[in-house]
């Protein structure tokens, strides 16, 4: 087996970030594209050192005319590598990116659960991270969206999604696949600039590279990395503040102590309110919802919000904000 600098890098990343321990069961999500092929080859080569049990999962969204052939291709690859293979096929063609993604994570979770894996591993790269950051920036997400893909994310109890290639660019995975003659399945939809994601990849990033910074992908991925640690820190601080300020009243009534919230910085006030809204609303709260609730921290007595989706109303009474979330 040829040991490359990329092998060494990923080995170090897994160890220092404690992404996986020894002897664990890892389900690797393989689309057949260059990133996931690079991923499976690296993990397979590192396996003797770590004693992992690897499996390959493929999800057929039935989106493209060649999707069945793509699934076959990945199956044959798994067979030739001697790795257990799991296939999930959508009941009906999933023709939007968001639908396909939702279904894919459900399908991967189902395979993981049924076959006793602890981890789902994907081939997201630093390039994906840079693109996601730009995409989210333009849509107006706060710092949380800009951390853009994290190394680990719990999907369910005892099920972790892990992305070991977040410091590797797409150019590197391409080179690696070439060097080892890995059989890449080219996804025709990746070229289609009808999708916002592809326009960022095909047009925006090359423009930024040519005109601003040739290493813009790594620079953006690093920004995401810094933000991730800051977001984690702020979320923890906000949680402590929320616990200190909250009293769970009777009948689905939440009471927030304004005195405690008033002396906190605005960044934490907003995060507390977002956490509270996450509890109450069925959909993720937006900027306006959070601002409305945050404004009550310093508003005159008896101020109140108009109803949030679902009907909850927040109201100031002296030192307290009352939120009745079943009204
Ligand atoms: N059809 C598939 N079957 C199995 N795994 C897949 C499939 N498509 C993507 N993946 C996994 O997800 C990773 C990211 O793929 P891609 O960037 O195409 O998806 P995405 O829709 O942008 O994903 P996300 O929403 O998670 O960012 C791949 O490296 C691979 O590990």
pLDDT tens per residue across span 168-204? 999 999 999 999 999 999 887 777 888 888 999 999 9
Annotated binding-site residue numbers: 31-36
Q: What angle do CA 128, 130, 133 make, to 5 degrees?
A: 105
Residue 49 CB neighbour total at 10 angstroms: 12
* Residue 217 CB less than 6 A away from ligand 1: no
The reported pTM is 0.90
Contact 96, 125 (CB under 8 A): no
Beta bridge partners of 255: 247, 322
Cα–chain center distance at 223: 16
What sign has the CA pseudo-torsion 200, 205, 208, 211? negative
pLDDT of residue 136 exceeding 70, the answer is yes
* Nearest CA among 282, 280, 244, 137 for reference residue 293: 280
The tokens describing 213, both together, are 């910074």
Beta carbon of 35 within 6 Å of any ligand 1 atom: yes
Question: 263 C-alpha to center of ligand 1: Å?
Answer: 44
What does residue 152 show for φ and ψ, rounded to 5 degrees? Answer: -140, 145
Please give the distance, rounded to the nearest whole angstrom, from the Cα atom of residue 290 to the centre of ligand 1.
32
C-beta of 128 in contact with ligand 1 (< 6 A): yes
**Residue 1 vs residue 38, higher pLDDT:** 38
Helices (H) and strands (E) in the chain, counts: 13, 10
Q: Give the pLDDT score at 5.
A: 98
131 touches ligand 1 (CB under 6 Å): no
The 10s digit of each residue's pLDDT in 6-16 is: 999 999 999 99
- C-beta 123 within 6 A of ligand 1: yes
Tell me what the mean pLDDT of segment 18-32 comes to.
97
Residue nearest to atom 21 of ligand 1 (CA): 101
* Backbone φ and ψ of 88, nearest 5°: -120, 130
Looking at ligand 1, which atom is closest to the CA of residue 28?
A: 31
Band of pLDDT at residue 327, cut at 50, 70 and 90: very low
Report yes or no: 125 and 168 within 8 Å, Cβ to Cβ: yes
Strand 253-257 versus strand 246-248 pairing type:
antiparallel
pLDDT bin (cut points 50, 70, 90) of residue 60 is very high
Kindly give the number of the ligand 1 atom that is closest to the alpha carbon of 35: 29
pLDDT of residue 326: 66
């Amino acid at each position: 087996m040829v040991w490359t600098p990329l092998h060494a890098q990923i080995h170090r990343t897994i160890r220092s970030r404690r992404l996986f321990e020894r002897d664990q069961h890892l389900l690797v999500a393989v689309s057949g594209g260059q990133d996931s092929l690079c991923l499976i080859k690296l993990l397979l080569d590192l396996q003797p050192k770590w004693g992992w049990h690897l499996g390959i999962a493929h999800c057929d969204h039935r989106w493209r005319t060649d999707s069945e052939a793509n699934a076959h291709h990945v199956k044959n690859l798994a067979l030739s590598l001697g790795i257990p293979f799991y296939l999930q096929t959508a009941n009906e063609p999933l023709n939007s990116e968001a639908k396909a993604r939702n279904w894919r994570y459900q399908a991967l979770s189902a395979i993981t659960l049924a076959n006793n894996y602890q981890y789902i591993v994907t081939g997201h790269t630093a390039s994906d991270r840079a693109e996601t950051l730009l995409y989210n920036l333009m849509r107006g997400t706060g710092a949380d969206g800009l951390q853009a893909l994290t190394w680990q994310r719990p999907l369910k109890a005892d099920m972790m999604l892990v992305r070991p290639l977040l410091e590797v660019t797409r150019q590197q995975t391409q080179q690696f696949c070439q060097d080892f003659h890995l059989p890449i399945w080219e996804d025709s939809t990746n070229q289609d600039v009808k999708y916002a994601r592809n326009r960022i990849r095909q047009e925006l990033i090359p423009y930024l590279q040519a005109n601003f910074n040739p290493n813009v992908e790594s620079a953006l991925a690093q920004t995401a990395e810094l933000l991730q640690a800051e977001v984690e820190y702020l979320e923890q601080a906000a949680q402590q503040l929320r616990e200190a300020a909250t009293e769970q009243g009777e009948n689905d009534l939440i009471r927030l102590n304004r005195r405690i919230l008033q002396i906190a910085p605005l960044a934490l006030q907003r995060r507390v309110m977002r956490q509270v809204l996450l509890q109450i609303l069925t959909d993720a709260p937006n900027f306006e919802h959070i601002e409305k609730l945050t404004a009550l921290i310093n508003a005159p007595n008896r101020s109140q919000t108009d109803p949030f989706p679902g009907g909850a109303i927040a109201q100031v009474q002296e030192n307290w904000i009352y939120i009745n979330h079943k009204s």
